[in-house]
Structure 1
């Protein structure tokens, strides 16, 4: 009775996790590689090897958010891992899941079978949303733990764990907003190609705009054209209250997109 009240299908949730866990593992492995390599390049005494690249190729490094001169380990990890890598790879993961969990089922007819079995549209949508949100939570939680463990092994007591956790909470909220956009498009469209065009297109455009704005100069104003600006790792590190207000903005975007997606999916016409 409780499952029905919260519009959640436990069997479908378990099935989706069983079907998609390999994708999660692949992205965990990719991020293991990047995290361990980047943390190992930190040298508290001599500076990092990545700073050499920043000085030799400043424009390219700035485009991917790697233009600072970090002093502490948490600054270093945030600059070189959370400026680009921890945004792009979880985003790709989220796009793949968003498309697989909803619009692909509509496009290939699986949704017709699922709904004809007596499961309501709202229940399907809510369950699939919980699947993708929980997958992203596990991915970010894994990366958080990995970063802490690697830092403690390589550079004992050098990492400000509280600040590092706050950065990861921030990046998770950012990805909830991006997931909201992707899943909204997956909810609106019946064709896989259209959902891919818009669901992947908007976040990719945000990334490209962010890369251009990072070059500063005449392009700096572009940062106001992307929601990625609402995740400001430097303000989170310094404990600036504005950073939390910006994360609140991302949370609102995630909620609004989710509501729109849920309403449209419930009411739209599908070939069943």
Structure 2
């Protein structure tokens, strides 16, 4: 199914990038968790109310009185969507398209490895990297909440939110992987793999501003991720997460199939 040696080599090539993103997210997650204060929340709500369109654009809304709602409001509308997406874009391109672009794929395929096996291995590396990044942020937030505000966070509900976040990034990472498998040149891989998800993200920001732009939410996959609904246990939010998971698995499978059958400049 996969090549263990290639998996370890590819994982080692990404670990520095992973650590950088984990460090940046550590700063934001710990800092925002520490900012929780029911008295301070009133001040933050006043800021949101004063600039509603701008705050809504980055996913921030007034009225989050619980710690779980506070974290969802200030982490899951922007930071935990965008930063892991950038990691997936960089990692997906490095795992497939760059190998083809530099000619290294020819040496790899000269060994007793089929294209499908190579693609599956690289897909698993990307999935593992994204999963570990999400799990790390989840554990960090839960740990910070337990240390700073014991008993304030509804941990089971918060874990459900992060399971949904993982489904979202599996879908986005799967598309980035598909783009990397589709092209021989890194620039084209990044153009598609980054261009479409970033466009979806920008559409989401515009839709959050409300008014006539609100209908744009139906034109982006980010709408399928509803952290507030997941935290409350809404069935529609669960369905959206399931669709994201299916999209992710589908894109990974499609990327593997495309890479196995297309012409490569070997």
Fold shared, TM-score > 0.5 on shorter chain = yes
TM range (shorter): over 0.9
Unpaired stretches in structure 1, ≥5 consecutive residues: 1-6
Match of 1:179 among 173, 176, 186: 173
Give me the whole-angstrom Cα distance separating, in 2, the residues matched to 1:218 and 1:152: 42
Q: Does 1:56 align with 2:56?
A: no
Match of 1:144 among 114, 131, 138: 138
Give me the whole-angstrom Cα distance separating, in 1, the residues matched to 2:176 and 2:32: 29
Q: 1:203 to 1:222 in 2, by over 3 A?
A: same
**Counterpart in the other structure of 1:23:** 17
Q: Cα offset for 1:259?
A: 2.1
Match of 2:112 among 118, 133, 155: 118
Q: In angstroms, what is the RMSD of aligned CA positions?
A: 1.1
Q: Cα offset for 1:49?
A: 5.0
**TM-score normalised by the chain length of structure 2:** 0.97
8 Å contact from structure 2 (residues 58, 78) kept in 1: yes
**Counterpart in the other structure of 2:160:** 166
**Counterpart in the other structure of 1:4:** none
**Counterpart in the other structure of 2:233:** 239
Q: Cα offset for 1:78?
A: 0.6
Q: Cα offset for 1:48?
A: 5.5
8 Å contact from structure 2 (residues 138, 159) kept in 1: yes
Alignment of 1:119-268 (within 5 A): 119-268=113-262
- Give deviations 1:90-146, integer Å, cap 9, x for gaps: 000011100000001001101111111222111110000000100111111110110
**Counterpart in the other structure of 1:104:** 98
Q: Cα offset for 1:46?
A: 4.5
**Number of equivalences:** 266
8 Å contact from structure 2 (residues 49, 62) kept in 1: no
**TM-score normalised by the chain length of structure 1:** 0.95
Moved over 6 A (4+): none
Give me the whole-angstrom Cα distance separating, in 2, the residues matched to 1:49 and 1:81: 18
Unpaired stretches in structure 2, ≥5 consecutive residues: none
Q: Cα offset for 1:196?
A: 0.7
Give me the whole-angstrom Cα distance separating, in 2, the residues matched to 1:193 and 1:67: 37
SS in 2 for 1:119: coil
Give me the whole-angstrom Cα distance separating, in 2, the residues matched to 1:153 and 1:49: 24
Q: Cα offset for 1:243?
A: 1.1
Greater CA deviation, 121-130 or 237-246?
237-246
Greater CA deviation, 254-263 or 79-88?
254-263
Q: Does 1:39 align with 2:40?
A: no
Q: Cα offset for 1:187?
A: 0.6
